């Protein structure tokens, strides 16, 4: 029988080194006694020390990640269980992938318990200010973890509280962080820490963030078990909070509605908007509240036109796309960018034109996380024509450029034979309308047709520029 | 007014915000010794109140003075609750002192609207800026943005905060107009779109490969109140699917309408069952992690509301028994995720383990599956449910026993 002593501080390194040596020497699990913190006593003191063997032992990384945590569990069998698993892994590397293996399941269960204990320590340690008055502030805490988790957990506190000195005392081990250096010492009994006034404030917060109308005591205790309460300053308030909750809710329900305080009238008056005189403002206000068709529901926002209010040219597109819907501006997506590029070639300055859409809300179909564009139908175009007409009345453009079938339908009443009608001016009740295709049509064409189509579009735009100059 | 009294008033006013997440932001620490705090991926719940909600962040209002009159809100202008206002310095000191004692993960700051939106938002941004730039605070900051505030302020807020959120308040636009007359659903949506655009832009590298500064790395979330208006669960879930897709939200929080002190006559204090909120969260999870779509979940809902007695996944399985029983040793991941009692983790474990051998009933227990639920819907090497899958009494095995009505 081989006895391996394991210290309380530095358990992981000691176990790993010993396990490495034993497995290299092919010592079977039943021949090793793991003596944690001299718990086995004098009886086995005469046993052999572990042999010194050179060479490496290969072990799956999964196992090391798991063992690194399992060694801190309070189960006295943990070292033997880990070594037995190591012994099996020698011959069967696949065990780590078999989540239903009883030995592995037990080890995973221990690992999970240590992780939970580690997490609860991170959550429930409560520091008290020691007010030592040095250049660095100094804090200390007393904590009673279920497992031996302080040592693997202390680096977390060092990363978080690096600009102050702190000490966490447990019955097992003490972690001391001073001037940026972390050291471990034997455990102590509960130290006498000075009172900290901030604990009162924290208690006030705890009492007031609680909503008495939703009492769920079990949900609280499953996440914050009672064993932790004695070291948490806020927990002393819990019994009262639970006891008074019902009465507080009853009082809320019984209380008659009160009269509003006097300042309300004054504030309401300030909030009253002065009526908007100009029709441009009416247009904007009306557009934002528009519910003429169902498209206002799913869309982010209405996308009004932009540009000079007395522009000689008005450009009407189809409807906002995904990018326009989020930005609240027309023609900023891929089709808008292509239009800008081609307009520049044709010598048309978009900033001199009033740019808008025949339909002001984005119509789309939800497919997973994507919003796929859909053509607006006739009733939707009809409803939105009201706004296009208002815009035309206000801008009074000399020429309207209608791009694509939807704009053609809105302004001329028909979207038929657009490719035959393009490049010409049609007289309508709204004034002269120049028809052409929509830039998104150019984006969708197969690439060998694109250059010709783009040239034709640029030619249309040149014709528009010429008509405006005439 | 003492700091203690202010804290009491302003945390009391903040308790109706359900969001508490402190996870999913960039990794930071203070090992350089110059600052305070760290964030490491997963959040930490530092305490739990008897309402079952976790306390992770210091959740306070900057002020509970407000010029709006939202019927569901305890801080509305017409309410007679006591009012208070924190100074910038007080919020900064409270956050740091609480953080140093390991009470909290960071700050969740919200506010009533005083004078105008820009001024209120400006103060909130100033607090975040001071914590980050002067105090070198590296913990978590969540700012509740005010939808009407200028886009510049929202842009600044995103540079300091880990998460931004804007509440849609109620599931339908009509309800917002009825109960929050000064709020505009369109402005709320536009503000969320604005945050989404900023976040997308912050991910584009420039031509030289330089990254722009991070913008709200933990994303944006929103909250809606459940049970204050007549909206059904189907309406609510459809709305939240839209919100997730349209604005890439990390989370939609559902908050059961809760009785408030000094309530208004406009909105009677009906208390919706807390179970309804729970079922909505379960449905939300099914849509985000289990491949369910909203129609599948709401198809089992009678009159548009989810079954309160059993969870939505079980309800779907009971209504679609023709898909079951599934062979655990052969079925695809997508189908296994539909088995009641199997979570994403146990499905992952089933898939890795069955590559090595055939799974038996006891294996599934050790994998962490809840077999009490799952057994009616699966077959494996040594288990078949027989007539159980199609038996009429299957629902009764899971639903709580019917209660006899009291005669008195």
How far A37 CA lies from chain B's nearest CA (Å)?
31
* pLDDT > 50? residue A117: yes
| Least confident interval from A98-107, A277-286, A458-467, B15-24 | A277-286
Interface contact A214-B256, CB threshold 8 A: yes
Q: Which residue of B has its CA nearest to A224?
A: B48
Q: Mean pLDDT over all residues of chain B?
A: 90
Q: How remote is the C-alpha of B128 from its chain's centroid?
A: 22
In chain B, residues with a C-beta closer than 8 Å to the C-beta of A249 are 259
Q: What average pLDDT does this structure show over B107-113? A: 94
How far apart, in whole angstroms, are the C-alpha atoms of residue A222 and residue A238? 15
Q: Average pLDDT of A342-370?
A: 89
Owner of token pair 């700051």: B109
The pair phi, psi for residue A142, each rounded to 5°, is -110, 135
Q: Check if B51 contacts A (Cβ < 8 Å).
A: yes
Assigned token pair, A239: 């019994």
- Span B265-282, average pLDDT: 82
> Is residue A380 within 8 Å of residue A297, measured between CB atoms?
no
* Helical segments of B101-162, H only: 117-129, 151-160
DSSP conformation class of B85: B
What is the rounded CA–CA span in Å between residue B243 and residue B231? 16
Confirm or reject contact between B4 and chain A (CB < 8 A).
yes
Judge: B261–A255 Cβ closer than 8 Å, yes or no.
yes
Chain B residues in contact with A206 by the CB 8 A cut-off are 47, 49, 55
Distance from CA of A427 to the nearest CA of B (A): 37
Interchain contact, B47 vs A201, CB within 8 Å: no
What one-character DSSP code corresponds to residue B304? T
> Could B36 and A164 be called an inter-chain contact, meaning their C-beta atoms sit closer than 8 Å?
yes
Q: Residue A30 CA to chain centroid, in angstroms?
A: 50
pLDDT at A278 over 50: no
Q: Which two tokens stand for residue A130?
A: 């020691």
Share of chain B above pLDDT 70, in %: 99
**Mean pLDDT along residues B112-138:** 91
Q: Cβ atoms within 10 A of the Cβ of A374, count?
A: 12
Q: Which residue of A has its CA nearest to B138?
A: A160
Model confidence at A312: pLDDT above 70 = yes
Residue in A closest to B244 by C-alpha: A369
Q: Residue B37's closest chain A neighbor by CA?
A: A160
Q: Which of residues 333-362 of B touch A (CB under 8 A)?
A: 349, 352-353, 355-357, 359, 362
Residue A411, token pair as written in the block: 């302004």
* Dist. CA A158–CA A164, nearest whole Å: 9
- For residue A74, give Cα distances in angstroms to A79, A114, A146, A148, A172: 10, 9, 7, 7, 11
Interface contact B80-A258, CB threshold 8 A: yes
- Report pLDDT digits (tens) over A369-408: 788 888 898 888 888 888 888 888 888 899 999 999 999 9
C-beta atoms of B245 and A371 within 8 A: yes
Share of chain B above pLDDT 90, in %: 58
User: CATH 3.20.20.70 residue ranges in chain B?
Assistant: 3-270
Contact A207 B46 (CB under 8 A): no
Tell me, what's the pLDDT at A275?
A: 35
B interface test, pick of A128, A135, A162 with most B CB neighbours within 10 Å: A162
The two beta strands, B220-226 and B163-165, are: parallel
Under the banding of pLDDT at 50, 70 and 90, the label for residue A49 is low
pTM above 0.90, yes or no: no
How does strand A173-178 pair with strand A165-169?
Answer: antiparallel
What was the pLDDT predicted at B130? 96
Q: Is B124 left (phi over 0), alpha (psi -120 to 50) or beta?
A: alpha
The count of CB pairs under 8 A between chains A and B is 236
Report the residue of B51, B137, B357 to disrupt the A interface, i.e. the one with the largest count of A CBs within 10 Å: B51
A201: confidence class by pLDDT, cuts 50, 70, 90: very high
Helix H or strand E encompassing B251: strand B251-256
pLDDT of B64 above 80: yes
Give ranges for CATH 3.40.470.10 in chain A.
294-469
Kindly report the nearest CA distance between residue A193 and chain B, in angstroms. Answer: 13
Q: Running DSSP on this structure, what letter comes out for residue B384? A: -
Poorest-confidence range of A59-73, A200-214, B226-240? B226-240
Strand A431-436 relative to strand A425-428, pairing: antiparallel
Among A123, A210, A217, the residue with its CB nearest the CB of B46 is A123
Q: B16, B46, B49, B193: which to substitute to probe chain A, counting the most A Cβ within 10 Å?
A: B49
Using CA coordinates, name the residue in chain A closest to B260: A252
C-alpha A366: how far from its chain's center? 21
Q: What is the interface pTM, i.e. ipTM, of the complex?
A: 0.93
Report yes or no: A128 and A141 within 8 Å, Cβ to Cβ. yes
- Residue A140, beta-bridge partner list: A128, A167
Q: Which of A196, A201, A214 sits opposite B3 (nearest CB)?
A: A201
Whether the predicted pLDDT of A48 surpasses 90:
no
Band of residue A272 on the pLDDT scale cut at 50, 70, 90: low
**CATH class in words for A294-469:** alpha beta
- Give the least confident one: A104-118, A280-294, B146-160: A280-294
Query: Homologous superfamily of B3-270 in CATH?
Result: Aldolase class I (3.20.20.70)
Q: Do A219 and B7 touch (CB under 8 A)?
A: no
Which residue in B has a C-alpha nearest to residue A94's C-alpha? B356
Q: Is B50 on the interface with A (CB under 8 A)?
A: yes
Q: Which residue has the tokens 């949900």?
A: A219
Contacts 24+ apart (CB under 8 A), A276-285: A279/A390, A279/A394, A280/A309, A280/A394, A283/A387, A283/A390, A283/A391, A283/A394
Q: What's A176's DSSP letter?
A: E
Nearest to A179 by CA among A128, A135, A140, A130: A135
* pLDDT over threshold 70, residue B248: yes
Low-confidence winner among B19-28, B97-106, B119-128 (lowest mean pLDDT): B19-28
Residue B225 C-alpha, separation from nearest chain A C-alpha, in angstroms = 15
Mutate which of A213, A245, A296 to disrupt the B interface (most B C-beta within 10 Å)? A213
pLDDT per residue as tens digits for the range A92-114: 888 888 888 999 999 999 999 99
Q: What is the mean pLDDT of residues B239-256?
A: 91
Task: Look at B77 and A161 and tell me if their CB atoms are within 8 Å.
Answer: no
């Amino acid at each position: 029988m081989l006895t391996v002593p394991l210290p309380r501080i530095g358990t992981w390194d000691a176990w790993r080194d010993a396990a490495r040596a034993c497995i290299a020497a092919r010592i079977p699990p039943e021949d090793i006694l793991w003596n944690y913190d001299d718990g086995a006593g004098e009886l086995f003191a005469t046993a052999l020390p572990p042999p010194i063997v050179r060479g490496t032992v290969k072990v799956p990384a999964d196992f090391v990640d798991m063992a690194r945590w399992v060694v801190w569990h309070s189960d006295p069998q943990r070292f033997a269980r880990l070594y037995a698993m190591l012994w099996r892994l020698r011959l069967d590397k696949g065990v780590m992938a078999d989540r239903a293996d009883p030995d592995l399941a037990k080890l995973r269960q221990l690992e999970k318990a240590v992780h939970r204990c580690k997490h609860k320590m991170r959550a429930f340690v409560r520091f008290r200010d020691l007010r030592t008055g040095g250049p660095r502030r100094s804090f200390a805490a007393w904590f009673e973890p279920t497992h031996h988790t302080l040592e693997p957990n202390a680096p977390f506190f060092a990363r978080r509280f690096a600009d102050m000195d702190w000490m966490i005392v447990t019955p097992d081990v003490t972690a001391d962080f001073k001037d940026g250096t972390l050291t471990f010492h034997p455990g102590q009994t509960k130290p006498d820490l000075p009172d900290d006034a901030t604990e009162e404030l924290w208690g006030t917060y705890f009492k007031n963030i609680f909503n008495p109308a939703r009492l769920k005591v079990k949900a609280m205790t499953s996440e914050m078990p009672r064993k932790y309460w004695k070291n948490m300053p806020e927990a002393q308030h819990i019994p009262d909070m639970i006891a008074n909750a019902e009465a507080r809710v009853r009082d809320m329900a019984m209380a008659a509605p009160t009269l509003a305080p006097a300042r309300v009238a004054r504030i309401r008056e300030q909030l009253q908007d002065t009526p908007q005189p100009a029709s441009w403002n009416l247009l904007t206000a009306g557009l934002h509240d528009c519910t003429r068709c169902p498209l206002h529901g799913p869309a982010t926002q209405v996308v009004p036109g932009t540009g000079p209010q007395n522009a000689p040219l008005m450009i009407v597109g189809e409807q906002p796309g995904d990018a326009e819907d989020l930005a609240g501006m027309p023609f900023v997506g891929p089709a808008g960018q292509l239009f800008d590029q081609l307009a520049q070639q044709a010598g048309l300055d978009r900033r001199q034109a009033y740019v808008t859409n025949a339909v002001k809300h984005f119509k789309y179909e939800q497919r997973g996380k994507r919003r796929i564009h859909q053509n607006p139908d006739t009733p939707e175009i009809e409803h939105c024509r009201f706004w296009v007409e208002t815009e035309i009345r206000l801008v009074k453009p000399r020429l309207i450029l209608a791009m694509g079938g939807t704009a053609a339908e809105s302004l001329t009443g028909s979207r038929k034979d657009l490719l035959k009608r393009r490049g010409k001016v049609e007289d309508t009740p709204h004034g002269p309308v120049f028809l052409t295709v929509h830039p998104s049509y150019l984006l969708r064409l197969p690439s060998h047709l694109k250059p010709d189509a783009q040239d034709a579009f640029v030619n249309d735009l040149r014709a528009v520029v010429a008509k405006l100059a005439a | 007014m003492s700091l203690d009294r202010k804290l009491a008033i302003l945390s009391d006013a903040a308790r109706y915000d359900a969001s508490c997440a402190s996870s999913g932001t960039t990794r930071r620490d203070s090992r350089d010794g110059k600052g305070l705090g760290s964030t490491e991926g997963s959040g930490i719940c530092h305490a739990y109140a008897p309402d079952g909600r976790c306390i992770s962040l210091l959740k306070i209002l900057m002020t509970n003075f407000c010029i709006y009159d939202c019927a569901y809100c305890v801080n509305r202008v017409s309410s007679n609750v006591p009012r208070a206002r924190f100074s910038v310095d007080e919020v900064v000191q409270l956050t740091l002192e609480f953080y140093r004692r390991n009470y909290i993960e960071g700050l969740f700051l919200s506010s009533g609207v005083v004078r105008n939106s820009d001024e209120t938002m400006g103060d909130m941004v100033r607090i975040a800026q001071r914590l980050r730039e002067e105090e070198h605070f590296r913990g978590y900051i969540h700012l509740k943005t005010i939808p009407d505030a200028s886009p510049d302020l929202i842009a600044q807020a995103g540079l300091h905060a880990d998460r931004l959120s804007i509440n849609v308040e109620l599931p339908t636009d009509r309800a917002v107009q009825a109960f929050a007359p000064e709020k505009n659903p369109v402005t709320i949506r536009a503000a969320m779109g604005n945050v989404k655009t900023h976040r997308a832009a912050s991910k584009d590298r420039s031509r030289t490969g330089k990254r722009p500064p991070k913008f709200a790395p933990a994303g944006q979330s929103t909250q809606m109140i459940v049970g204050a208006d007549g909206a059904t669960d189907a309406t609510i879930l459809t709305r939240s699917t839209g919100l997730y897709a349209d604005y890439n939200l990390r989370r939609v929080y559902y908050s059961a309408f809760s009785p408030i002190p000094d309530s208004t006559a406009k909105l009677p204090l009906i208390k919706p069952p807390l179970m309804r909120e729970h079922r909505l969260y379960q449905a939300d999870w099914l849509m985000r992690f289990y491949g369910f779509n909203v129609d599948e979940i709401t198809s089992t809902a009678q009159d548009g509301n989810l079954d309160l007695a059993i969870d939505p996944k079980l309800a779907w399985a009971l209504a679609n028994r023709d898909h079951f029983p599934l062979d655990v040793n052969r079925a695809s991941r997508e189908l296994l995720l539909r088995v009641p009692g199997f979570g994403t983790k146990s499905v992952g474990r089933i898939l890795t383990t069955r590559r090595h051998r055939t799974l038996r009933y006891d294996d599934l227990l050790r994998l962490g599956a809840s077999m009490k639920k799952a057994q009616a819907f699966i077959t494996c090497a040594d288990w078949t449910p027989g007539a159980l899958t199609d038996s009429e009494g299957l629902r009764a095995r899971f639903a709580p026993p019917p209660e006899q009505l009291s005669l008195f």
